[in-house]
Amino acid sequence: MSRKGRLKRTAEIYHGDTMRISVRRRLQVLVSLLFVSGLAGVSAAQPGPRPNVQLASKEVNARVEALLKQMTLEEKIGQLVQFSAGFATGPGASNLKWDELAAKGQVGSFLSVVGADATNHYQHLAVEKSRLHIPILFGMDVIHGHRTTFPVPLALAASWDPQVIETVARSGAVEARADGIAWVFSPMVDIARDPRWGRIIESAGEDPYLGSAVARAWVNGYQQDDLSKPDSVAVSVKHFAAYGAAIAGRDYNAADMSELTLRQVYLEPYRAAVEAGAATMMSSFNSINGVPATANPFTLTRILRKEWGFDGFVVSDWGAVAELKNHSIGDGPTVARKALTAGVDMDMEGGLYGTVIAGQVRAGTISESVVDEAVRRILRVKFALGLFDHPYTPVGPVYEATPERRAMARKVAEETFVLLKNEPVEGVGPLLPLTAKVKKVALIGPMADAQAEMLGAWAVTGDAKNAVTLKTALAQRLGDRLLYAKGCAMESGDDALILAHASFDVPASGVAETSIPDDDKTIAEAVETAKKADVAILALGESATWMEGEAASRTTLGFTGAQERLLESVVATGKPVILVVLAGRPLEIKWAAAHVPAILEAWSPGIEAGPALVDVLFGDVNPSGKLPATLPRAVGQEPLYYAQLPTGRPAHGDLSHMPRNADERFMSRYLDEENSALFPFGWGLSYTRFSYAQPTISRAEVPVREALESGHGPLATVGVDVKNTGSVAGTEVVQLYIRNTAASVEQPVRELKGFTRVTLAPGESKHVEFPLGFDELSFYNVDVKRTVEPTTYKIFVGGSSLATGETELKVAE
């Protein structure tokens, strides 16, 4: 099925009218679902390079050149300047005369101005008053939906379902456009392997293959196949590059890695986004191997433009051009020149381009052709978006969280939950799904009834009022069979007080405690509540409004405040406990994993948090999410990810105790903790069970020449039969991993190279196929060339990165 067709289906889901379509259309939808889930024998194979054709069109280029000829140097530089004329999302926001800048054509873009009225106000000034009538491009952080808040991006990645991501992107695009925003600062495609870094919440997690599939889905969903459509928005893929590799997980910190790792791991999702036609990129705050990313000609020009053929424009991150001074690479004029010549076309909220570029052009230290090229790139996007022809946004009705929008948010959230554990309790059996036998349920925890917390970080225009909590949804289902106790606050002591009075400018809809919470008292109350019930559901986590997202690095990964104590106290009552974890990053939940029989990872689920959770807790929906990021046993293991490089002394045997002899000691291990994850990448259970037959491969051997010349086509196909051996229907994410056993450069012990969602009725079995070609088998050699060499690939297929079903492919001389 064509991409256009798939997008149409997404649009249908968006408008919530799949139920009303014809039988023929339903069949088409089914086929598209089969395509997406890979059942038609096709997995998410990577398409070849496809630079953004719309930006390179003859018509657009002609209009750009004609305009450029008329522009003065000041007008050109105006296009390279961006300011927030709304709220701040970083330090040191400027407060200039926005009306005047717009009317004089001295600002090419505003960020964080929301709404048809507000954007039209500036647009009228720019289009009607400025000499050349160039429209302003309004940009904004539309991260996981715009007004309708969906689960956070990390949660969306846990669905392993590109269709879900396209749906969220479509919703965000439609609602953003209605608010005058034609440019979204999304997707964030940074690989995040260290949950100490708070921005892991905005990412697709630790893996480049999953991350690339997710990146493509975002771009397709936002931009569709035509930027000029009234409901398309241009993306800004961020943060280029390697921002997620901040040393020690501390935000804005340097990244330092080999070029091979940079290319094979960190750059892959950006490349996928560019191939999908991304119109813009955002440069990152960090340095890469000693060169700041915002003044880095290697990444911004050589790789992005020359190798990948990117023809959109690059915007800096907030203040990142001016902050180059802190990287000690020069004074203001020098760093502005370095950023511009390296390939940063627009200066976000720094004011440097606007003040120091013109002088340097006049002095001859910057060639005007460099400025011209940056202007061209920006104007191309404005033309492609249709802003010159339709600069204004029709003023429409006020946003409402309609039943259609809610249904979509609920369905999406249900796919993102990961059932980590569901072990039978003696005399009761598995606690989940909850059955009618359970008479009284005690709902406990500060996340149980916290509307704002359900939205997650970066829900900039989300409204907490629209969020339905677990308490509200459970009360609807259980009536007076539901007991409730908050148990404790999200934060304890002074922290709670400080946060209550903090002001960060960034719109955070959170309501913090207003006095120091008395945790002892509230925990005692919660214990009494639990004693009155048959089962206790604990809703615990980490504050989405204060502890996650940007500038939210941590050195510990436990529940905040007194929540761990609350959990332990309730477990001590002997009542069966179900733990629902609401957090935007992998938390350290080792004690819970050992003492709590049922654990559901629910992330930050968005406005339909409560209803979606109830659907899954009661088994109306069978959970199908899988972890996009490893859950550690201890923070000291970080960065912990499954695709580790090999070591000469791999750990083996029982690592749960201190080594007793030299053989147990001198291997790559910790003395005080096991090496393995608490819950590994790709992990996720279901209310049913799946069994895997032995995987097979269509051919055992491929000549290396054929592999090298095969382009993007498949060389061999791995097939596996998957069966639902339980008693309820369920969806399994079937995953394929490879290990290259004899490469000239050592390769990870496992790498994901295929995945697909399969829905099976009880007893049903389906055959799933994964194509393997150059894209899946290749790696970067010491000459930084992507290649395939004679080797043997071990291939593993199963339901997580621990997959045991095994086959092989030999690449012969």
Specify the residue, 282 or 613, whose C-beta has the smaller distance to ligand BGC.
Answer: 282
Torsion sign, CA atoms 563, 567, 569, 570? positive
Specify the residue, 348 or 496, whose C-beta has the smaller distance to ligand BGC.
Answer: 348
Find the shortest distance in angstroms from Cβ 111 to ligand BGC: 6
Q: Got the DSSP string for 368-385?
A: HHHHHHHHHHHHHHHHHT
Which one of the listed residues 317, 345, 519, 775 is annotated catalytic? Answer: 317
Distance CA 201, CA 603 (A): 9
Tell me which residues in 100-139 interact with ligand BGC (CB under 6 A).
Answer: 111
Torsion of CA 486, 492, 497, 498, to 10 degrees: -130
Specify the residue, 90 or 610, whose C-beta has the smaller distance to ligand BGC.
Answer: 90
Is 318 one of the binding residues for ligand BGC (CB under 6 A)? yes
Is 183 one of the binding residues for ligand BGC (CB under 6 A)? no
Q: What are phi and psi of 55, to 5 degrees?
A: -75, -20
Find the shortest distance in angstroms from Cβ 315 to ligand BGC: 9
Specify the residue, 286 or 543, whose C-beta has the smaller distance to ligand BGC.
Answer: 286
Binding ligand BGC (rule: CB under 6 A), the pick from 38, 78, 86, 90 is 90
Specify the residue, 185 or 755, whose C-beta has the smaller distance to ligand BGC.
Answer: 185
Q: Got the DSSP string for 198-224?
A: GGGGGS--S-HHHHHHHHHHHHHHHHT
Is 550 one of the binding residues for ligand BGC (CB under 6 A)? yes
Find the shortest distance in angstroms from Cβ 68 to ligand BGC: 27
Is 150 one of the binding residues for ligand BGC (CB under 6 A)? no
Specify the residue, 369 or 503, whose C-beta has the smaller distance to ligand BGC.
Answer: 503
Find the shortest distance in angstroms from Cβ 726 to ligand BGC: 42
Find the shortest distance in angstroms from Cβ 52 to ligand BGC: 20
Specify the residue, 141 or 638, whose C-beta has the smaller distance to ligand BGC.
Answer: 141
Is 238 one of the binding residues for ligand BGC (CB under 6 A)? yes
Find the shortest distance in angstroms from Cβ 550 to ligand BGC: 5
Is 146 one of the binding residues for ligand BGC (CB under 6 A)? no
Please give the size of the binding site for ligand BGC, defined by CB under 6 A.
9
Q: How many CB atoms lie within 10 A of CB 352?
A: 23
SS3 annotation, 686-746: CCCCEEECCCEECCCEEEHHHHHHCCCCEEEEEEEEEEECCCCCEEEEEEEEEEECCCCCC
HSE, CB side, 13 Å, CA atoms: give it for residue 568. 9
Is 548 one of the binding residues for ligand BGC (CB under 6 A)? no
Question: For 128, which DSSP code?
Answer: I
Is 185 one of the binding residues for ligand BGC (CB under 6 A)? yes
Q: What are phi and psi of 91, to 5 degrees?
A: -80, 160
Structure tokens at 180: 């005058």
Tell which residue, 584, 447, 551, 631, has the closest CA to residue 144.
Answer: 584
Specify the residue, 39 or 111, whose C-beta has the smaller distance to ligand BGC.
Answer: 111
Tell which residue, 418, 307, 495, has the closest CA to residue 678.
Answer: 418
Is 153 one of the binding residues for ligand BGC (CB under 6 A)? no
Find the shortest distance in angstroms from Cβ 92 to ligand BGC: 11
Distance CA 371, CA 466 (A): 45
H helical segments located in 199-324:
208-223, 259-261, 268-275, 297
Specify the residue, 315 or 562, whose C-beta has the smaller distance to ligand BGC.
Answer: 315
What is the per-residue binding string for ligand BGC in 616-645, x denoting contact by CB under 6 A? ------------------------------
Q: What are phi and psi of 292, to 5 degrees?
A: -55, 135
Find the shortest distance in angstroms from Cβ 185 to ligand BGC: 3
Q: What are phi and psi of 379, to 5 degrees?
A: -65, -40
Tell which residue, 204, 187, 293, 295, has the closest CA to residue 243.
Answer: 293
111 CB burial (10 A radius; 0-12, 13-18, 19+): buried
Binding ligand BGC (rule: CB under 6 A), the pick from 317, 548, 732, 776 is 317
Q: Got the DSSP string for 633-652?
A: SSGGG-S--SSPPP-SS---
Q: Which residues of 520-535 are buried (b: 16+ CB within 10 A; e: fewer)?
A: eebbeebbebbeebeb
Find the shortest distance in angstroms from Cβ 414 to ligand BGC: 28
Tell which residue, 108, 118, 116, has the closest CA to residue 380.
Answer: 108
Q: What are phi and psi of 352, to 5 degrees?
A: -75, -45
Is 141 one of the binding residues for ligand BGC (CB under 6 A)? yes
Is 89 one of the binding residues for ligand BGC (CB under 6 A)? yes
Specify the residue, 37 or 296, whose C-beta has the smaller distance to ligand BGC.
Answer: 296
What is the per-residue binding string for ligand BGC in 269-298, x denoting contact by CB under 6 A? ------------------------------
Specify the residue, 504 or 670, whose C-beta has the smaller distance to ligand BGC.
Answer: 504
Please give the distance of CA 333 from its chain centroid, rounded to a whole number. Answer: 35
Any residues with CB less than 8 A from the CB of 591 and at least 6 apart, and which?
564, 567, 568
Find the shortest distance in angstroms from Cβ 243 to ligand BGC: 8
One-letter identity of residue 483: L
Is 323 one of the binding residues for ligand BGC (CB under 6 A)? no
Distance CA 458, CA 565 (A): 29
Specify the residue, 90 or 576, whose C-beta has the smaller distance to ligand BGC.
Answer: 90
Find the shortest distance in angstroms from Cβ 238 to ligand BGC: 5
Residue 519 is a catalytic residue: no
Find the shortest distance in angstroms from Cβ 183 to ligand BGC: 11
Find the shortest distance in angstroms from Cβ 367 to ligand BGC: 29
Tell which residue, 243, 208, 225, 379, has the closest CA to residue 320.
Answer: 243
Specify the residue, 280 or 688, whose C-beta has the smaller distance to ligand BGC.
Answer: 280
Is 316 one of the binding residues for ligand BGC (CB under 6 A)? no
Q: How many CB atoms lie within 10 A of CB 170?
A: 23
Distance CA 220, CA 748 (A): 30
Question: For 809, which DSSP code?
Answer: E
- Catalytically active residues are 317
Which residues sit at the interface with ligand BGC, rule CB under 6 A?
A: 89-90, 111, 141, 185, 238, 317-318, 550
